[in-house]
């Protein structure tokens, strides 16, 4: 694998990739910093029993790359980064493991902030916080803003409403059928929002327990097997689990008007944005739709404010409408339109930062 790292960094344009191993705790982690033009890199830390080191490296590179675009388009002054831990979140967590991770984050001296992601919880990072101050998304009792999944789910709802506005001419979701893939921290909360909006909801998850929790709470909600969710005839398909779910096989199966969800890197490849476009399916770029969590935790730096977080999150709706307009006017995919808007902001800020600001010069 090691001889491929620099090729991969060159391909995606990464600044720095750090491999961390702690013999005492068994921690095996990778931290990837993609672009810090806008400021320190932000990105959660996910814990997954990866099949190989190559799989872990590919994941952290793709995720950190997407974080740069998410930060760029969301209006926050931070860059893209990500961390992964190779391990089983059900079996391998320990105080030492997360304190060790905190030590590695501390070594970057503020170039990278991290917190909970897939397979990790805000409570895990209470241990990391004992070793470094560069942790965000902590429980409120420890000075954080609380679980960012709640705000992420709110942002997803806004993304779905903006997509409905573009596709149907109104954002009202009453009576719309939404197929929700993944009932974790974000997907489960999203279901609550959709029920309040009087949607018809169909769900799936690899965890039968997660499905039972939702269907017991809402008896009218239907569930299907994980592989069947793509075939459900619906208005909106909402992926809220792992990435790569939009691929050659699944796109052909879809029977929906809109794809809008919280999962990172939903497109297996960029060509799948074009496939959705050609099929007449409106794709809401995932790194806009799922930006609510980033907006919340980035607001913690210097002291968070609930009303400010809400105002910033509600911009997701307007940003998506702008992306959809660019897509229509320039006849490009929504993915291309979103990337274009994000890069424009990063380049503008980069140019502004090159301007002389009048610092004193000693002669």
In tens, the pLDDT along 131-157 reads 999 999 999 999 999 888 899 999 999
Q: 363: pLDDT confidence band, cut at 50, 70 and 90?
A: very low
For residue 15, count other CB atoms closer than 10 A to its CB. Answer: 17
Out of 113, 128, 144, a domain closes at 144
- CB-hemisphere CA count at 13 Å for 314? 6
CATH number of the domain that residue 39 is part of: 3.40.50.10860
Has residue 355 been placed in a domain? no
For residue 171, pLDDT beyond 50: yes
CATH number of the domain that residue 255 is part of: 3.40.50.720
Q: What percentage of the chain reaches a pLDDT higher than 70?
A: 97
For residue 359, pLDDT beyond 80: no
Question: For residue 226, with 0-12 CB atoms within 10 Å meaning exposed, 13-18 middle and 19 or more buried, which class applies?
Answer: middle
Cα separation, 188 vs 166, whole angstroms? 25
For residue 275, pLDDT beyond 80: yes
Out of 120, 144, 168, a domain closes at 144
User: Mean per-residue pLDDT for 93-104?
Assistant: 98
Q: Containing domain of residue 50, as a range?
A: 2-61+78-144
User: Mean per-residue pLDDT for 305-321?
Assistant: 95
pLDDT value of position 362: 52
Residues 155 and 201 in one domain: yes
Beta-bridged to residue 18, according to DSSP, are 31
pLDDT value of position 121: 92
Note the pLDDT tens digit of each residue in 334-356.
Answer: 999 999 999 999 999 888 877 76
Note the pLDDT tens digit of each residue in 59-87.
Answer: 999 999 999 999 999 999 999 999 999 99
Residues 136 and 84 in one domain: yes
Residues 43 and 138 in one domain: yes
Collapsing DSSP to helix, strand or coil, 92 comes out as: coil
Cα separation, 252 vs 231, whole angstroms? 9
Q: What is the mean pLDDT of the chain?
A: 94
Kindly list the catalytic residues: 82
Q: 178: pLDDT confidence band, cut at 50, 70 and 90?
A: very high
User: Mean per-residue pLDDT for 16-29?
Assistant: 97
Q: 361: pLDDT confidence band, cut at 50, 70 and 90?
A: low
Q: 127: pLDDT confidence band, cut at 50, 70 and 90?
A: very high
Has residue 53 been placed in a domain? yes
Residues 203 and 177 in one domain: yes
pLDDT value of position 341: 95
pLDDT value of position 301: 87
- The separation between CA 39 and the C-alpha centre of its own chain, rounded to angstroms, equals 18
pLDDT value of position 147: 84
- CB-hemisphere CA count at 13 Å for 159? 32
CA distances (Å), origin 297, targets 189, 278, 290, 313:
18, 36, 13, 12
pLDDT value of position 146: 85
For residue 2, pLDDT beyond 60: no
For residues 236 and 164, the answer to whether their CB atoms sit within 8 Å is yes
Residues 139 and 156 in one domain: no
């Amino acid at each position: 694998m090691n001889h491929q790292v620099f090729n991969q960094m060159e391909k995606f344009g990464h600044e720095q990739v750090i491999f961390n191993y702690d013999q005492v705790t068994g921690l095996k982690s990778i931290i990837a910093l993609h672009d810090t033009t806008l400021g320190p890199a932000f990105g959660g830390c996910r814990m997954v029993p990866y099949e190989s080191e190559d799989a872990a490296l590919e994941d952290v590179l793709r995720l950190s790359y997407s974080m740069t675009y998410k930060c760029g388009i969301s209006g926050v002054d931070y860059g893209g980064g990500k961390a992964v831990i190779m391990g089983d979140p059900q079996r391998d967590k320990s105080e030492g493991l997360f304190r060790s991770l905190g030590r590695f984050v501390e070594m970057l001296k503020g170039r990278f902030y991290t917190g909970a992601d897939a397979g990790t919880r805000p409570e895990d990072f209470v241990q990391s916080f004992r070793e470094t101050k560069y942790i965000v998304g902590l429980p409120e009792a420890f000075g954080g803003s609380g679980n960012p999944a709640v705000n992420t789910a709110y942002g997803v709802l806004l993304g779905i409403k903006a997509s409905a506005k573009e596709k149907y001419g109104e954002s009202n979701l009453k009576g719309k059928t939404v197929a929700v893939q993944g009932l974790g921290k974000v997907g489960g909360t999203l279901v609550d929002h959709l029920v309040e909006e009087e949607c018809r909801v169909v769900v799936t998850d690899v965890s039968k327990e997660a499905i039972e929790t939702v269907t017991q709470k809402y008896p009218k909600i239907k569930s299907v097997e994980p592989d069947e969710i793509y075939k459900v005839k619906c208005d909106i398909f909402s992926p809220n689990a792992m990435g790569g779910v939009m691929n050659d096989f699944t796109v052909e199966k879809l029977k929906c008007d809109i794809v809008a969800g919280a999962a990172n890197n939903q497109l297996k490849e960029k060509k799948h944005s074009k496939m959705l476009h050609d099929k007449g399916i409106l794709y809401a770029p995932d790194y806009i739709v799922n930006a609510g969590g980033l907006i919340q935790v980035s607001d913690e730096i210097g002291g968070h404010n609930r009303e400010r977080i809400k105002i910033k999150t509600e911009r997701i709706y307007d940003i998506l409408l702008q992306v959809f307009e660019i897509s229509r006017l320039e006849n490009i995919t929504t993915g291309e339109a979103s990337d274009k808007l994000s890069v424009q902001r990063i380049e503008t800020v980069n140019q502004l930062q090159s301007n002389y600001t009048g610092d004193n010069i000693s002669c």
